[in-house]
Structure 1
Amino acid sequence: MSGSDGPVLYDLRLRIAADYPSTVKEARHILRMRPRRRANQEVLGETLRLTPAPDEMRGVADFFGNACDHVAILKQHEMLDADLVARVRVAPTAFDPAGAPSLAETAEAARTSRETGATAPVHFRGASRLLRPSPAIMDFGRDFAAAPNVAEAALAMTKAIHAGFTYASGETGIDTPVETVLRTRRGVCQDFAHLMIAALRGLGLPAAYVSGFLRTEPPPGRPRLAGADAMHAWVAVWLGPSLGWREFDPTNGVAANVDHLVVAIGRDYADVAPMGGVVTTSGGQMARHEVDMVPVEDAEALADKPAGAVNELVRQTR
């Protein structure tokens, strides 16, 4: 499986804003907005600015290696605006699905693995805060158990969800059970990712939730991908010790590649929510976010620039 022939340089902007119905006296947040640094994804520059300015802000990595900003706002405020701009180079990934082990071999390797690190399969095999395989979900997963190997099974499930489910914004929420999504065949990327993860885990296969962004404008001749105007979600599947983790996008029926930019990885959405925390106020709140991820046309000219120069360029995009 392969995508682009070479790396793609992106300018990314993510803005998350929350409007409160009454004055907030104090707030503490955990933000997961920064692009993840990993082998095929190089963060050349990034700036995260908050309004109002926080009284405390500390950057840490969580257990799964996601970049987190712990923020405290101790002054009264009526809104919060978090604005991230970044420049990221994403390199293509490719692998031969014919070299993947069988489902049974993969499930056994995951079951007997003694790894305990952030990417160990043990963390992604069972129930998590938002997901618990049920008989209906396990029945759905068994439809793919006859695939020749685990990679073909994951790709077949990816394509089946894309072909058999309707992308319908506004009909589901974070608490919508995957059984409801399976029954109605309607939802958004978050729902389809959760469904695929639960079905794979029902087969004994480790699967993780991936949060990130999609290329806003597709290359010439290719269709626009669903979910490109918001934060996107897809699935990482453990394909055994040799191939490791590979990513699949059930919303669009494809293996993830250079069109996909990763922010955070976890067991389900609860591990990767872009904004969480505690706010002292009354009533609900209105939240919105804006995403823009576009290729940089002069990528070759910028490829050798030092990070400091790129950081200055990122600041100029504001």
Structure 2
Amino acid sequence: MRYAIRLKITYDYPAAVTDARHLLRVRPHADAGQAPRNVRLAITPRPDEHARERDFFGNDVDAIAFFAPHTELAVLMEAEVAVERPVPALELSPSAPSLAEEALAVATADGTSPLNHLGASRLIAPVAPLTAYVAETLGDGLAGEAVMALTRRIRDDFAYVPGATSVGTSVAEAFAARRGVCQDFSHVMIAGLRANGIPARYVSGFLRTEPPKGQPRLEGADAMHAWVDVWLGGELGWVGFDPTNGILAGDDHIVVAVGRDYSDALPIGGTFVTAGPQETDHFVDVIPIG
């Protein structure tokens, strides 16, 4: 499947911003399942400094800086992306207990290693009731099938309610409330899996806006979406699961960035000097083109 993608993020500041530095993670990821082309990035006003780099997790990062005063910022990313992500053979995964042992035996420690996605991170920490909730779903069966069951359970047990939570909502709060958005559900799933020894990482990206004919529209398609990659052993590697919609991440999902949690994959972050609150808008279009 090929898509035309358009992302626009805007900020309006009540007072002029000076000395601003930002890291942008908005370019589609290039990996075995997807190939971006004709990627265009427009930033207004034009940055005084602009450098492209790769972070520890392999994400494409634009580092920008502004030294002149400005009262607004607009980031526009347009791209075409071809996605072909085969359905994983979950029956080839080891049992959940065996998978936990296999993860600890991995020798590599780079950004793709499961070892970097087993412990607590900035926004994710163990929560005892959540650990038990996930443990009863995992059991001793095949890890891939158990994670799929967990994905569906979160979809069924949690209500998708935009505005019910914020970026600062903790895993414990989201789990207790049983409501929120894709970021909350992904953090809940990751925290529970890691506490049970299963490596899991956060994925930020785009979701197909219009579903195939006869299928329901997926939640989270009007903004950047989030889901979970779970490491299912050396044979299967990282496999995507979407707890918001209770499905595997497939050709409708376009990856932008991965990390331990949202803080590693957020579209725009950084520091700047201003006074008063700021207003931001976020627009996404994902259009199938063949």
Aligned to 2:228: 235
Q: Work out the CA distance in 2 between the residues paired with 1:285 and 1:240.
A: 44
Q: Work out the CA distance in 1 between the residues paired with 2:221 and 2:70.
A: 31
Q: TM-score, normalised by structure 1?
A: 0.90
Q: Secondary structure at the match of 1:109?
A: helix
Matched, 1:93 2:86: yes
Aligned to 2:57: 64
Question: Which amino acid letter does the alignment assign opposite residue 205 of structure 2?
Answer: G
Q: Work out the CA distance in 1 between the residues paired with 2:133 and 2:195.
A: 9
Q: 1:51-102 CA deviation, whole Å, 9 max, x = no partner?
A: 1011111010100000000001111100000000000100132222111100
Q: Work out the CA distance in 1 between the residues paired with 2:216 and 2:252.
A: 12
Q: Work out the CA distance in 1 between the residues paired with 2:173 and 2:18.
A: 38
Aligned counterpart for 1:33 among listed residues 1, 4, 26: 26
Segments of 4+ moved more than 2 angstroms = none
Q: Work out the CA distance in 2 between the residues paired with 1:172 and 1:16.
A: 20
Q: How do residues 296-311 of structure 1 correspond to structure 2 at under 5 angstroms?
A: 296=289, 299=290
Structure 1 range deviating more: 78-87 or 280-289 = 280-289
Q: How do residues 166-245 of structure 1 correspond to structure 2 at under 5 angstroms?
A: 166-245=159-238
Q: 1:245-273 CA deviation, whole Å, 9 max, x = no partner?
A: 00000000000000000000000000001
Q: Secondary structure at the match of 1:242?
A: coil
Aligned counterpart for 2:46 among listed residues 53, 64, 80: 53
Aligned to 1:158: 151
Aligned counterpart for 1:149 among listed residues 127, 142, 147: 142
Unaligned runs of 5+ in 2: none
> Offset at 1:44?
1.5
Q: Work out the CA distance in 2 between the residues paired with 1:273 and 1:96.
A: 30
Q: Secondary structure at the match of 1:283?
A: coil
Q: Work out the CA distance in 1 between the residues paired with 2:246 and 2:221.
A: 14
> Offset at 1:145?
2.5
Q: Work out the CA distance in 2 between the residues paired with 1:252 and 1:134.
A: 23
Aligned counterpart for 2:11 among listed residues 13, 18, 28: 18
Q: Work out the CA distance in 1 between the residues paired with 2:192 and 2:209.
A: 29
Q: Cα RMSD (Å) of the superposition?
A: 0.9
Structure 1 range deviating more: 246-255 or 133-142 = 133-142
Aligned counterpart for 2:100 among listed residues 104, 107, 110: 107
Q: Work out the CA distance in 1 between the residues paired with 2:17 and 2:111.
A: 35
Q: 1:139-166 CA deviation, whole Å, 9 max, x = no partner?
A: 1111212252110111011000111110
Aligned to 1:315: none
Unaligned runs of 5+ in 1: 1-7, 300-318
Q: TM-score, normalised by structure 2?
A: 0.98
Aligned to 1:249: 242
Aligned to 1:282: 275
Asked if the contact 2:97–2:140 (Cα under 8 Å) also holds between the matched residues in 1, the reply is no
Q: Work out the CA distance in 1 between the residues paired with 2:124 and 2:276.
A: 28
Q: 1:200-252 CA deviation, whole Å, 9 max, x = no partner?
A: 00110000000001000011011100000000000000001111100000000
- Give aligned pairs, total: 290
Question: Which amino acid letter does the alignment assign opposite residue 260 of structure 2?
Answer: R
